[in-house]
Amino acid sequence: MSTDNRFDYVVLGAGIAGLNVADQLHQRGKSVAVIDKNSPGGGASGAPLVLMNPATGRRAKMAWRAEEAVELGASILKKVQEKTSTPFYKKNGVLRPALTEKIGKDFSRAPKKYEWPSEEWIRWMGKGELEDRYPFLPDTFGGLLIPNGYTIDSKIFIEEFYKLLGKSGIQFFTDCDYSISKEQDGVFQINIEGVDSILTKQVIYAVGAGISDIDSWDFLPLENVKGQTLTLYFEKELKMQHSISSMGYFAFLPETPNKLVIGSTYEHGYTHLNTDVAAKEKLLEKLQNTLPGLLSSIEKTEQWCGVRVTTQDHKPIIGPHYAEKGISVITGLGSKGMIHSCLLAKLLVDHLEKGQPIDQTVSSERFFNR
């Protein structure tokens, strides 16, 4: 355990990845400090509503290690929910309508093509069945239902997760600047604004888009992508049950039936970090294409933007640095932070604490020779 200002680990970043890493370390009896220049979930983790959707991409491919990822992610949601009376998530499934014939053909093959475990995970519905069950959709070419899809109010989740970890003994330093130096004995000294310095031999970078400013990790092929969402409020309750994934996502929680969140834009080479009219128009166009009957009944809108980190191969990166002892990273989760953050945190901590090898699909080692 920590003695005054000394910790077994310091986690940089209090978003969904950093919180999960801190939780995994704490479960193993390690003393942990978490530092963030912003508030918890101040980056891309703080989107208004997010999905944990195991059917990814245009062809509804099964997400990497989907069964394990969803099981671990759901266990964290349940653990946090048990400590608060505010409902913030629902296993209400994700509906994926096929709006073109080509997508319909791809979707119809998805259940067998990607070796899904059972219909509990994915089920194809032909055009007639889909239109009978979901008459509010436009003309479709069938679609998929993903029963094991979750919708999460990530702002509430992160705030409650942060509170829970703080009560468990993890030390948080947020909304503060800090600097890091390394002593000759391999100990990192972290100077925190307004606080005495803290010491550790292990630093884990979970800083989201901030990783692009860290020289030690400049060999990783990362790209920061700006995304904007649009929250819509309606006068009447929406006649929906599931969230929808269709050229973006339409996140819906039954507990807030007058609210729908559309996400998100993919803005490469962005020039500012503000919301804008162009993104709002794109998101409303998505609404018109997928749920055309709702456009005229919007009462109020709110926009949000954040920056997420993606990789060239669209796989996350976890693991130690190739040369600098004592530093590790968890990054590149892109839009899949909710489904993969807990699994990746576990794999990283298993490696650091037990020496277990990291799956090469996500290991930082795959970039060591670049």
Tens digit of each residue's pLDDT (9 = 90 or more) over 136-188: 999 999 999 999 999 999 999 999 999 999 999 999 999 999 999 998 889 99
335-361: per-residue pLDDT in tens?
A: 999 999 999 999 999 999 999 999 999
Give, for 344, the enclosing helix (H) or strand (E).
Answer: helix 337-354
Q: Contact 179/190 with Cβ under 8 angstroms?
A: yes
Q: What's the CA gap between 343 and 248, in Å, rounded?
A: 24
The average pLDDT across 69-85 equals 97
- What's the pLDDT score for residue 1? 38
The dihedral through the CA atoms of 262, 89, 172, 29 has a sign that is negative
The average pLDDT across 196-225 equals 96
The average pLDDT across 218-235 equals 96
Share of the chain above pLDDT 90, in %: 91
Give, for 78, the enclosing helix (H) or strand (E).
Answer: helix 66-81
- What's the pLDDT score for residue 141? 96
Q: Contact 262/249 with Cβ under 8 angstroms?
A: yes
Look at residues 279, 272, 162 and name the one whose alpha carbon lies nearest to residue 231: 279
Residues 6+ apart with CB under 8 A from 259: 49, 231, 232, 233, 234, 252, 253
The average pLDDT across 110-131 equals 93
15-67: per-residue pLDDT in tens?
A: 999 999 999 999 999 999 999 999 999 988 999 999 999 999 889 999 999 99
- What's the pLDDT score for residue 184? 81
Domains and CATH numbers, the chain: 6-46+156-221+313-367 (3.50.50.60), 92-149+223-311 (3.30.9.10)
The tokens of 214 are what?
């860290």
The tokens of 31 are what?
């003393």
- What's the pLDDT score for residue 172? 97
Backbone φ, ψ for residue 331 (5° rounding) = -155, 175
Whether the pLDDT of residue 2 is over 60: the answer is no
Whether the pLDDT of residue 362 is over 70: the answer is yes
**Total-model pTM:** 0.96
Whether the pLDDT of residue 4 is over 80: the answer is no
Q: What's the CA gap between 338 and 262, in Å, rounded?
A: 17
255-303: per-residue pLDDT in tens?
A: 999 999 999 999 999 999 999 999 999 999 999 999 998 999 999 999 9
Please provide the average confidence, as pLDDT, over all residues in the chain.
95
Length of the chain: 370
Strand order in the sheet with 89-90: 50-52, 150-152, 89-90
The average pLDDT across 64-76 equals 97
Whether the pLDDT of residue 3 is over 90: the answer is no
- What's the pLDDT score for residue 370? 58
Whether the pLDDT of residue 8 is over 70: the answer is yes
